[in-house]
Amino acid sequence: MGHVGIIGGGVTGLASALSLSKIGFQVSVFEADATPMPPSPEEAFDWNRRGAPQVRHSHALLGRLHNLLRDFHPEVLKMLLDVGATEIALARHMPETLDDLTPYPDDKDLFMIAARRTTFEWVLRQIVMSNPNVVIKTGQRISGLIMTEGDIPEVQGLMFENGGSEFFDLVIAANGRRSQAPEWFRGRGIELPEEVEDTGIVYYSRFFRVHESEELPVSDRLVAGDLGYLKYGVFWGDNRTFSITLATSDKDKTFWGVRDSKVFDQVVREIPAAGEWLTLDADPITKVHSMAGLLNRRRSLVDEGGVIIKGFHMIGDALICTNPLYGRGCSTGFWQAHLLTKAIEQNRDDSMIQAEVFAEDIEEHIIPWYQASVDSDRSNRELENGVPSEGANRKSILQNGLMPATQTSAKVWRAFMRMINLLAPPKSLNDPEIMADVLEMWEKRDERPAPPPLGPERSEMMDVLGLQEIA
């Protein structure tokens, strides 16, 4: 039938192995990190994942991912729930203030999954490993590709850092944000089309676990906000864990101190919605982890002349990565694996057609999310830099129109939940019916009492923390 070599055993490498093995392919997954399979998700949380350091950060697992699991890989969803993840039925947590609380048929798709990223990866790996068509080799770094010469070179196999090589019928690079594939091709004079924009943020996350006496408060209320100089979010995990993430500008040295656990907790306490979580009967289970160099980036294996490499696909963060603040990478990565498998299944013997079909699907389904991330970051940057733009207006409509309307109009609440869970395209909120309710709410913004501030102004926060401005 065919033997596929996958570079990288993160979410999208495993997702590709899962779906390709189900349609009869032999699959070998090579993961650089030496992470033998531990007996439980708790031990996986301590995995040394140098190759995917983002596993130390909060991860939202959205409706699109939930539904792909439910509809195509129910055994994964079942095992996730069995090992302590929670399936959050958003419609069960509708705000009581909505104008219509009647359930809708589409509500069956409004789900999120509360689980740590390592738990999700552990479950995926367990299930994939149980398929006799799949072999996973950890601690096995790929150092290059076996490739033919010619106008359109064909990838025929993989070279291993510790010596040796292996031939495959098809190779998939699922080796993440730091994928070396562009360099491997550059070495052969091939430049992959690429577009990149730095998000300019630094991420700080810390995990906690509530004691057995306390339930994790799970609801539809997304605890996330933007104080201008600092963004925050609270994420549910599995097995009574939760995590808090702060994000600051990578140029704001004054706030780099939030990497210190004490400072981090102090900042969180000053933000009412997030601080509430620190009043739970809970203990921190990690220090504060930080991560910078976060990009919006898209690549392609197709240029104006068509497909540029045979026998090879790229997927996940290696192909497209977006600002983690929007929490979409695992869901869009899993979706990509699903689309790629479809393209391969329908064109088993022609990797060029597979690549064309996959590129079209990416353009239709994934690029709108990439573009939404880029547009939103640009508009935030303009706002921060005081550049006169439409950004200020858009932000005001978001804060004083859309967000309050999600609490009163069932139509807006559903449209918003569908959009953030990747079940409706980013532009779906521009629908005239939705916008009418949003704008009505926005136009009446001065008739309502001003909402309480999300948290202190920058100077107040600096005073509380005893920070001096660092230029």
Ligand X SMILES: Cc1cc2nc3c(=O)[nH]c(=O)nc-3n(C[C@H](O)[C@H](O)[C@H](O)COP(=O)(O)OP(=O)(O)OC[C@H]3O[C@@H](n4cnc5c(N)ncnc54)[C@H](O)[C@@H]3O)c2cc1C
Nearest residue (CB) to ligand X, 267 versus 325: 325
Nearest residue (CB) to ligand X, 156 versus 331: 331
User: Binding ligand X by CB under 6 A: which of 4, 6, 10, 145?
Assistant: 10
User: Binding ligand X by CB under 6 A: which of 51, 225, 237, 275?
Assistant: 51
The answer to whether residue 424 forms part of the interface with ligand X (CB under 6 A) is no
Token digits of residue 118? 């390592």
Residue 134 contacts by C-beta under 8 Å, 6 or more apart in sequence? 17, 21, 26, 27, 28, 29, 128
The rounded distance, in Å, linking the Cα atoms of 141 and 147 is 18
The answer to whether residue 59 forms part of the interface with ligand X (CB under 6 A) is yes
Stretch that binds ligand X, among 148-156, 174-182, 221-229, 297-305 (CB under 6 A): 174-182
In order of 58, 63, 132, 390, the CA distances from 217 in angstroms are 17, 19, 40, 37
The answer to whether residue 200 forms part of the interface with ligand X (CB under 6 A) is no
Tell me how far, at minimum, the Cβ of 224 lies from ligand X, in Å.
Answer: 11
Nearest residue (CB) to ligand X, 51 versus 391: 51
Phi-psi region of 2 (alpha: psi -120 to 50; beta: other; left: phi over 0): left
Residue tagged 């509500």 (tokens): 107
Exposure class string for 237-264: b at 16+ Cβ within 10 A, else e? bbbbbbbbbbbbbbebebbbbbeeeebb
The rounded distance, in Å, linking the Cα atoms of 333 and 54 is 14
Helix axes 351-361, 329-346, angle to 10 degrees: 140
Nearest residue (CB) to ligand X, 55 versus 359: 55
423 within 8 A of 112, measured Cβ to Cβ: no
Between residue 328 and residue 357, which ones bind ligand X under the rule CB under 6 A?
328-331, 333
The answer to whether residue 5 forms part of the interface with ligand X (CB under 6 A) is no
The answer to whether residue 47 forms part of the interface with ligand X (CB under 6 A) is no
Tell me how far, at minimum, the Cβ of 133 lies from ligand X, in Å.
Answer: 20
Tell me how far, at minimum, the Cβ of 417 lies from ligand X, in Å.
Answer: 16
Nearest residue (CB) to ligand X, 180 versus 399: 180
The rounded distance, in Å, linking the Cα atoms of 26 and 166 is 14
The answer to whether residue 119 forms part of the interface with ligand X (CB under 6 A) is no
Taking residue 144's Cβ as centre, other Cβ atoms within 10 Å add up to: 16
Tell me how far, at minimum, the Cβ of 438 lies from ligand X, in Å.
Answer: 25
Binding site for ligand X (CB under 6 A): 7-13, 30-33, 51-52, 54, 57-60, 141-142, 174-177, 180, 203, 291, 294, 316-318, 321, 324, 327-331, 333
